[in-house]
Amino acid sequence: MSAPVLSIRNLNIDYVGAEKNFHAVKDVSFDIAPGEFFGLAGESGCGKSTIAFAVSRLHRPPALIRTGSEIIVGGRDVLDLDTAELRSFRWREVAMVFQSAMNSLNPVLTIEDQFYDVLRAHTKISREEARARAAELLKLVDISPDRLKSYPHQCSGGMRQRIVIAICLALNPKLLIMDEPTTALDVVVQREILQRIDVLRKRLGFSVLFITHDLGLMVQVSDRIGIMLQGELVEVNDAATIYKSPQHPYTKRLWASMPRLHGEQIKPEASS
Amino acid sequence: MPLFKQLLSNKKALVGLTLLVLIILIAVFAPFLSEYSPTRRVGRPHQAPSWDHWLGTTRLGHDVFTRLIHGARVSLAVGFGAGLLITIVGTILGILAGYKGGWVDEVINFFTNMVLVVPNLPLLLVLAAFIGQASPLVIAIILGCTSWAWGVRVTRAETLSIRQRDYVKSAEMLGEPSWRIMVFEIFPNLFSIVGINFIGSVIFAVIAEATLGFLGLGDPNSVSWGIMLFNAQNASALSVGAWWDLLSPCFALALLGLSLALLNFAIDEVANPRLRTGGMLKKWTRMVLVGEGKL
Amino acid sequence: QEGNVLTLASEQTTTFVRNFNPFGQTSARYTTLDFMYEPLVVFNRLQGNTPHFRLAESYELADDLMSITFTLRDGLKWSDGEPLTADDVIFTYDYIQKFPALDFISVSAQLASVEKVDDRTVKFNLLEPNSLIANTIVGMPIVPEHVWAEIEDPVTFANENPVGSGPMTEITRFTPQVYEQCRNPNYWDAANLSVDCLRMPQLADNPQVLAALADGTLDWATSFIPDIDNTFVARDPEHHKYWFTPSSLVSIQVSQITPDENNRKAFTDVNFRRAISMIVDRQTIVDIAGYGYPLVNDDPASLGELYSAFANPEVATEYGQYGQFDLEAGMALLDEAGYVDADGDGFRDNPDGTPIKIDFMVPNGWTDWIDAVQIAMETMVEAGINVSMSTPEAAVWTSSLISGEYSMTLNALASAADPYFPYIRSFNPDDFGKSRFTAPHWENAEVMELLGQYTQTKDPAEQKAAMDRLQMIIGENMPIIPLYNSPSFYEYNTSRFTGWADAEDPKFSPVVSNANPARLLQLLDLEPVAQ
Amino acid sequence: MAFLLRRLAFYLAAFMAAATVNFFLPRLMPGDPIQIMFASAGSELSLENLNALKLTFGFIDAPLHEQYFAYIKSVFTGDLGRSIKYFPLPVTELLGRALVWTLGLVGIATIISFTLGTTLGVMAAWRRGKLFDSIVSLIAIFSSSVPAIVVSLILLFVFGYTLRWFPNGYAANPLLDPAWNWTYISSVLYHGTLPMLTLVIVQTGGFAVTMRNNMINLLGEDYIVMGRAKGLADDQVMLWYAARNALLPTVSSLAIAIGTVLGGSLIVEVVFNYPGLGNTLYQAILARDYPVIQGQLLIMTAAMLVSNFVVDLSYVLLDPRLKKA
Amino acid sequence: MSQPILQLDTVSKIFGEGASQVYAARNVSLSLTPGRTLALVGESGSGKTTVARLIMREYHPDSGQLLFRNEALGKGDAKAIKAYRSAVQMVFQDPFASLNPTHTIRYHLDRPLKLHQKQLSGAERLASARELLERVKLDPDQLLAKFPHELSGGQRQRISIARALAVNPQVIVADEPTSMLDVSVRLGILNLLNDMKRELGLALLYITHDIATARFVAEDIMVMYAGQVVEWGAMESVLGNPQHPYTRLLLAAVPDPDRRFADTPPGSELDQIETIRRNAALPQPETLQVGENHFIRPMPA
Ligand SMILES: Nc1ncnc2c1ncn2[C@@H]1O[C@H](COP(=O)(O)OP(=O)(O)OP(=O)(O)O)[C@@H](O)[C@H]1O
Ligand SMILES: Nc1ncnc2c1ncn2[C@@H]1O[C@H](COP(=O)(O)OP(=O)(O)OP(=O)(O)O)[C@@H](O)[C@H]1O
Ligand SMILES: [Mg+2]
Ligand SMILES: [Mg+2]
């Protein structure tokens, strides 16, 4: 097996507070293999986004990645990169899809500009070449190149999310982080987008870090899954195991409280 | 109310509040803080500051310090009176327009926008001049009548958003009468907007009083900072070198303005947690410096 | 090569408008009268009203005082070279008859007709005998018929390129910030004129005039200057000079017809008025409110220093005490007359016990007056008089004074060549309800009769008798309570020009304001300093 | 487009209302304008003379509604009558002169303080919590709390009277003829420094705060984070992602600011004797020059309306969401 | 089966005018029966909330009518409206927005009691408030004096339910009451709703986009699409045998851990959605019964 695309070791992240610090991520370690679809699940506020942000070092104060943490991508520790290295590392190696499709595109720039600025920041590319490349990327996600002239508000939510994915693929990153990329979308659209990602990663070979609190969905798409609880990674296993034979009591409880659409319904326990 | 508690732990608010309370106390106890009367000659014209006259005397031989602390009463009274009036009118109209909607909103909104585009101070000036001998009360009333529009605009905008909140919906569905919804469901949630509007209006009114006074449109019988500025200007205080006569009310105005502005900023920070910087950023910087972590 | 230029400030404004219409009182540039339109005669108030003949070389008052004849100099020309003749004078008076709005000194009302005797002589026929009519007539500028006959609406006519008769008629430069007015090429008295141009920089207020004076820019100015020895003179004691001459009378006035019945009882009582007069501290008012510039007026007959040539010494011996500040005596007089605190509120009441409550009215924004009133009120309150100040707008104040519906006020009366004018302006019942000068609404038949006599005789002895008697009546009744004569301000700089009138050589009033025609005499006396 | 049309209709209505108020204002006030005017001029006139003058100035005793329509008509034909104090100068010309100065003063001061304020605000938000931010906040608090009158008097005292570095009056050396040469322009700049400085001091803080707060509110937005995640340079994210979006609400605050600036410039012009609109209004009020007062209020309102409209326009230009596809 | 207590009869609601006209609800009919839960499912923007608001009389229908106990409710009848208010209550989606942050929990429970049970004294109201809190499994001693921000999301949602119950309602409309809650507390709320329905004989309208939870609480289901009800009937019948293409698509897309993603090329669903969207605007054919208590409104050909 080749070296992992992403290897997180003893990651500790605090949110510094005036009186007390909030320890949001506690000693988390996990690996993502090349081409792997890795799911990170857990309830709201358990620290999933905090990890995702740390990988691209997108945090702003008062977040603080504690000394001793390691985030290794492509053999080097992301936490050691200086500003220039960091800039070229971002997006080229790790691209990211954010939670809200509505808001992850800059409302005052055209779609083309938003392709262009990332291409120009990382490559020597002319405006025409960039346009051609953008059109090509849009085709990957089934969007007509006409859309390049549009502003984000002129596209529907699902379309915007697919545009973001296309922008993510612009530099052929090794890892795509998706932080709840579909919560704002309908189930039908959500499924469509995830299937597309699945197809693309198989074709282009990138890995995916997929963050959601929808366990059912996660089991459907992920190869391996990590379950988080209050900043700690309590269980990591392959998807089938997590579903069929969860180890951690918390994981078990999650399954127990998930109503089923088909087959036998879970027991309505006495409400507590 | 948690907002109050937060306000008291805000450094800006504390400094502002302390200053303001100090000014208010000085104004309230003015008669006990100076042996002189603000309207009697107690010295020669334009005496420089001395032990007898801490801030010197005016052209007429009045004690500047005495006039300053007595003037604080008028300036504060006009400021807070007009501020209150502006806020009350602005809040009531704003909530009405925002909550009632329909033609009520149309009418209020139209007038608000109208008043907003008429330049305020020039209008004030003209009104004060036409009415003549604008006593502090008159000034406060004119200010109240002409300056509510900004308050209406922000209150209305905020009300429009609060109206959509589910707790307002649920109060409606419980059959609460609409006045109760406006007073008990919406109004308490406008605390910061109303507070900012109030303090902003007080600043505005204090400044407007001083300005009208300075331009000679105030009542010379009254002792206020604006009238002090006017008298000093008339006595050519600057050209004859009696800087204390003119600069004393200037600094008093600046200090009062500063205390109120600090409060306003503090309310803004408390109401909008994103604006708060607080101590944690300093702590964070320290932690980074000692190598406890990085971004 | 611009010759010598005199920089002066007679007018305070934020912008200059090119308007040299001599009839426009509020809108014309202040250098229009006298400098552009020369008067027939200039009466020198500082020298017993001696006439300085200008366009006229003489005048003759008829024995019956029913007409006056002016004779123009020979060879007078307008600045465009046209001759200036009696026709122009006739034209001017016909003109103001036709356009009453032009008659800013209300002279038409006193004239029956104006007739041409010959090319240089004009006769004014009066409606009533008047020994002082010359003083009025010379206030009206004479305009060239050949220019003004064509003007359709002379009231709004701006007269941008004036054709005048005075020494300075040519506008060589005009911007909103400065204008220059130069020599009349056809001036009859050019031999006496050494100044080539006047330059008027725009100055908006006293502090700006002071700044310009202090840095030596201005040669001649009229402006109130605070603490003038320090702020102006000290900057260049050798050249920076000033001379303040007393002018209009400022007095306390009470209305004899004030609407409040109780106040009226007090105001109509001469003892009350006398007591008020004794209670106000004139000197302090002059020193503090007036920076020491005004001249105390303690003459019970209200004439004071200004008209000292006319003074009746008996007035001072008889009633002089009532013009002196003496708080004790004033209070004693009040006690004696029965004005004591009857209801125990700390204030004096009428002898019949009804309360007196005085509202001391002064126009808003007139700071020196407001200061004066505040100082006057200090001692009045100390004497137990219930008085407070109000400051309505000047317009409201004016109309209250006109109607007599006020209780107490300060009022000002412009100085004149002869005490007749202050008296007639103040006490003529015909003017009640028309003019603010009759604010006291005090009537006295004998006064009116004496005033009539005064103007209807040419005999100086008769006039003096009438004037003496008048002063006694006024002194006895004190219908107005004089405070001080406010000064005419006059600042000058001797570094570029000499020949200024001053206290040592009070040859005429040198004030450059447009209310002083003698400024023309001053201009003609100036000589450039050899550089 | 519909948006702009609606605004335009509103502005027209607002202008009409302002004109109406303007018409009634002096008529509701006590006193006879002509009499007041001459009372303040200190001149003595007979009643006949007064009445004759009244007629000349167009104070006719027509029924109110006729006067009103005549007034509205003259307003829309650009005829605001003639000044009484500066007779026979048409009000439009008098105000036109003053307008140039005020526009220059207020315009440049606003441009400077807007640029300065927004830049400071952007940088403070970007360096949030750092020393720079604290300093900007402090500056902003001072700037937004200290009245124009205080700032101008102190500047006048320090730089005009004490140090004598700057003149204490005028828009330019009055002895110079207006011309497009360096002598004149430098004189204008020299004279304009203190008034300009006052306006910049009192305005900058407000813009800085608005911008800073808008920025901070935006910094958490996904698209900003995405901009950083894309590996763009910090400056690019700050300007093209954050500032560009934060500017939108700031621009609308600019419109409201214009009114405050006009007020502030009034006091500044009076203190520094600057021949602008504010000073003209003040002088007109003192002289009870009704035609000028009325014209002035109208022009100021119109200036407000125009600047509001310009802001509306720029809003449409800046925000693609308002552009109708 | 008992009588329906509340019915919508071919109700439509239109927003906007002219070209931008939106049918937020088009000819929607439904009935709520005591002791039963009707689940209303559909994608975002399909008109679910609009239906809820029509029932809550926040909107007035543009056509059709609202029947309460078989009587049409007009606009003006104050007394009838008051009775209706105390009979129909709502639980909102966002537990953080549905309680006024400036009032205590006690105030939130006191107001409905005061408004709808005027006869109660202050002490009685306090007792009732405690009772309500116990009913939603919360500790009155701890909570009465607290402010909403001191509570967790689940606790807040329980308070909302208690407040709705305070007026003794017969119908409760719950608009996505659990979508903002964590998975682990979600079930508690759903159970609570089930209990209420059973114990108090409430008629429940449960609005959700999560069909799995719908199946958990409801006996009947209605599927909405673009303002229309496209398929409705008994829960098991509809889920087990979906007839309308949209229902099928929806069901297929619901995450299901039992089915891994197939390697189907993406895009086909979107095309189908497009077709369905286009057809939704066409004149609608009649209702079709496809089973016992199972109906669809078929797509026009
Ligand atoms: N700027 C901040 N300051 C202080 N605490 C923060 C900050 N941002 C996040 N937190 C806290 O850190 C914890 C983890 O947050 P994070 O956003 O990583 O959660 P998450 O798992 O992504 O939740 P969600 O599913 O709601 O997105 C939360 O409890 C949150 O309250
Ligand atoms: N007040 C309104 N004005 C105009 N359009 C509205 C209004 N309320 C709803 N709509 C429109 O009506 C349609 C249905 O909206 P509704 O809120 O009922 O959907 P929903 O199914 O509840 O969606 P969600 O699941 O997102 O809550 C939408 O297209 C919406 O844009
Ligand atoms: Mg998250
Ligand atoms: Mg909804």
The shortest CB-CB distance from B132 to any of C375, C378, C396 is to C396
| Cα gap B60→B74, rounded to integer Å | 20
> Is the CB of residue D90 less than 8 Å from the CB of residue D57?
no
Q: Do C391 and B221 touch (CB under 8 A)?
A: yes
User: Which class does domain B3-291 fall in?
Assistant: mainly alpha
| Cα gap B26→B32, rounded to integer Å | 9
- Chain B nearest C-alpha distance from E257 (Å): 34
Q: Do B210 and D285 touch (CB under 8 A)?
A: no
**φ/ψ of residue E152, rounded to 5:** -80, 170
Domain limits, chain B: 3-291
**Confidence (pLDDT) at D274:** 87
| Ligand 2 first shell, C-beta below 6 A | E 15-16, 22, 24, 42, 44-50, 209
| Per-residue burial over B162-176, b = 16 or more CB atoms within 10 Å of its CB, e = otherwise | bbebbbbbbbbbbbb
| Cα gap B80→B202, rounded to integer Å | 5
**Torsion on CA atoms C471, C474, C478, C482, rounded to nearest 10:** -50
Say whether residue B285 is in contact with chain A using an 8 A CB cutoff: yes
**φ/ψ of residue C180, rounded to 5:** -125, 140
Closest CA to D239 of A134, A122, A108, A100: A108
pLDDT band of residue C116 (cuts 50, 70, 90) is very high
Interface-testing mutation among C229, C235, C374, C398, with chain B (most B C-beta atoms within 10 A)? C374
Q: Which fold has domain A1-93+176-248?
A: Rossmann fold (3.40.50)
H or E segment and range at residue B28:
helix B11-28
Task: Verify whether ligand 1 is closer than 6 Å to residue A52 (CB atom).
Answer: no
Q: How many CB atoms lie within 10 A of CB E231?
A: 26
| Cα gap B126→B106, rounded to integer Å | 29
Task: Verify whether ligand 1 is closer than 6 Å to residue A161 (CB atom).
Answer: no
Tens of pLDDT, residues E161-199: 999 999 889 999 999 888 888 887 888 889 888 888 888
Domains of chain D: 92-322 (1.10.3720.10)
**Confidence (pLDDT) at D325:** 38
What six digits make up the tokens of B273?
């947690």
> Is the CB of residue D11 less than 8 Å from the CB of residue D308?
yes
- Chain D nearest C-alpha distance from B294 (Å): 16
Chain C contacts to B (CB-CB under 8 A): 206-207, 210-211, 226-227, 230-231, 288-289, 364-365, 367, 370-371, 374-375, 378, 388-393, 396
Q: Which atom of ligand 2 is nearest to the CA of E93?
A: 27
| Cα gap C405→C400, rounded to integer Å | 5
| Cα gap D318→E210, rounded to integer Å | 40
Tokens 């002064």 correspond to C362
| Cα gap B26→D192, rounded to integer Å | 39
CA angle D172, D175, D176 (to 5 degrees): 65
Closest CA to E218 of E254, E172, E286: E172
How far from C300 is each of C312, C313, C433, C484, E171, CA to CA, in Å?
11, 11, 25, 12, 98
**Confidence (pLDDT) at D29:** 64
Say whether residue D166 is in contact with chain C using an 8 A CB cutoff: no
| Cα gap C489→C218, rounded to integer Å | 14
Q: If chain A, 272 residues long, is cut into consecutive pieces of 10 residues, what is the mean pLDDT of each piece?
A: 86 87 92 93 89 90 89 90 90 87 83 91 90 90 87 84 89 90 77 85 91 87 92 92 90 86 69 42
C-alpha C484 chain-centroid distance: 14
Lowest mean pLDDT: which of C4-8, D321-325, E224-228? D321-325
- SS3 (DSSP) at D199: helix
At how many degrees (to 10) do helices A127-140 and A111-122 cross?
110
Tell me how far the alpha carbon of residue B160 lies from the centroid of ligand 3, in angstroms. Answer: 29
**Strand C111-118 relative to strand C67-72: parallel, antiparallel, unpaired?**
unpaired
The phi-psi region of residue C296 (left if phi > 0; otherwise alpha if psi is between -120 and 50; otherwise beta) is beta
Tens of pLDDT, residues A212-270: 888 888 888 899 999 999 999 999 999 989 988 999 999 998 888 888 887 777 766 54
Helix, strand, coil shares of chain C, percent, nearest 5, are: 35, 20, 45
What six digits make up the tokens of A108?
């005052």
**Confidence (pLDDT) at D42:** 45
**Strand A232-238 relative to strand C56-61: parallel, antiparallel, unpaired?**
unpaired
**Confidence (pLDDT) at A271:** 42
> Is the CB of residue A216 less than 8 Å from the CB of residue A184?
no
Lowest mean pLDDT: which of C141-145, C342-346, E13-17? E13-17
**Torsion on CA atoms C275, C277, C279, C282, rounded to nearest 10:** -170
- Chain A nearest C-alpha distance from B8 (Å): 15
H or E segment and range at residue C491:
strand C491-493
DSSP structural state of residue A2 = P
Q: Do C26 and D97 touch (CB under 8 A)?
A: no
**Segments of chain D with pLDDT less than 70:** 1, 28-61, 87, 174-175, 322-325
Residue type for C472, please? M
H or E segment and range at residue D15:
helix D2-28
H or E segment and range at residue A241:
helix A239-244
Mean pLDDT calculated for residue range E137-165: 89
- SS3 (DSSP) at B180: helix
Count of residues making up chain A: 272
Chain region(s) in chain A for CATH 3.40.50.300: 1-93+176-248
Q: Outline where DSSP puts E strands in C105-242.
A: 111-118, 121-126, 168-175, 178-183, 197-201, 220-221, 240-242
| Cα gap A39→A258, rounded to integer Å | 18
Domain limits, chain E: 6-296
| Cα gap C401→C361, rounded to integer Å | 10
Q: What is the pLDDT along chain B (295 residues), one digit of tens a residue?
A: 566 777 777 888 899 999 999 999 999 998 888 888 888 888 888 888 988 888 999 988 899 999 999 999 999 999 999 999 999 999 999 999 999 988 999 899 888 888 887 777 888 888 887 776 678 888 888 888 888 988 998 899 899 989 888 899 889 888 889 999 999 999 988 888 899 899 999 998 999 889 888 888 888 888 899 999 988 888 888 888 889 999 999 999 999 999 999 998 888 888 877 776 667 778 888 888 888 888 7
Q: Is residue E137's pLDDT more than 50?
A: yes
Q: Ligand 2 atom 24: the closest Cα is on which residue?
A: E44
Q: D178 to chain C: which residues are within 8 Å by CB?
A: 175
**Confidence (pLDDT) at A232:** 93
**Confidence (pLDDT) at D41:** 47
The shortest CB-CB distance from E137 to any of A243, A258, A271 is to A271
> Is the CB of residue B34 less than 8 Å from the CB of residue B65?
yes
| Cα gap B275→D219, rounded to integer Å | 11
* CATH of segment(s) E6-296: 3.40.50.300
Q: Ligand 2 atom 6: the closest Cα is on which residue?
A: E15
3-class DSSP string for B134-161: ECHHHHHHHHHHHCCHHHHHHHHHHHHH
Mean pLDDT calculated for residue range C486-494: 93
> Is the CB of residue B69 less than 8 Å from the CB of residue B33?
yes
Q: A53 to chain B: which residues are within 8 Å by CB?
A: none
Q: How many CB atoms lie within 10 A of CB B200?
A: 22
Tell me how far the alpha carbon of residue E49 lies from the centroid of ligand 2, in angstroms. Answer: 7
Positive/negative CA dihedral, B140, B146, B147, B152: positive
Q: How many CB atoms lie within 10 A of CB E174?
A: 28
